[in-house]
Structure 1
Amino acid sequence: MSDLDVQIPTAFDPFAEANADDSVAAGSKEYVHVRIQQRNGRKSLTTVQGLKKEFSYSKILKDLKKEFCCNGTVVQDPELGQVIQLQGDQRKNVSSFLVQAGIVKKDKIKIHGF
């Protein structure tokens, strides 16, 4: 009889790869992480973390809200620092906005989720 590998289904953790990257590489602070979180039903939340502290988060948020016609806020997290939250799936929009505005280079953005 041969050994069969049985995989037990587990819950999907969208932050697992980010946590693995943070624990392995000490220089991962230089990346800007754009994530999506599922709320309820079709509602979702886009988070942006890892921007340099010298930027004004409130001004970036104001431009993002105006550009994408969505609401958002800046949240202070004890572990991650300041995080920008936007309503809806804005991952592609945010990454292209950050590159076009010259805030971050394209190779320094990591998009997580789905």
Structure 2
Amino acid sequence: MKYLKITLAVVALFAFSQTYAQDIGPKLKKKFAKIDTNSDNSVSLEELTAFYEGKKTKKGHPFKADKILLKKDTNKDGKLSLEEFAAKWDKKAKAKGKGKGKKKN
């Protein structure tokens, strides 16, 4: 019974990760590709810094690429994968009320 529970948990985790990977929209993929200038399917600190160079937040402060990378790099490999990058934007959309499961008033 213990092995059955473990097997089901692993299968569910795999199914969720595959579904999530497919949910990444074409706009995010295009933006990721634009930032990933060397096309290695990851965004480094240098690429992120170059992308945000000269850009400001809504409050007028410059973006801090190193802090963005540190916060969003969940596997701590020093770069952002497409999934890590997409999670960043998903959280922003949900915070603005654009995420899935938004209740209508």
- TM above 0.5, one fold? no
Higher normalized strand content (fraction of residues): 1
Q: TM-score range by the shorter chain?
A: 0.3 to 0.5
TM-score (norm 2): 0.33
TM-score (norm 1): 0.31
Higher RCO, 1 vs 2 (CA within 8 Å, ≥6 residues apart): 1
Higher normalized helix content (fraction of residues): 2
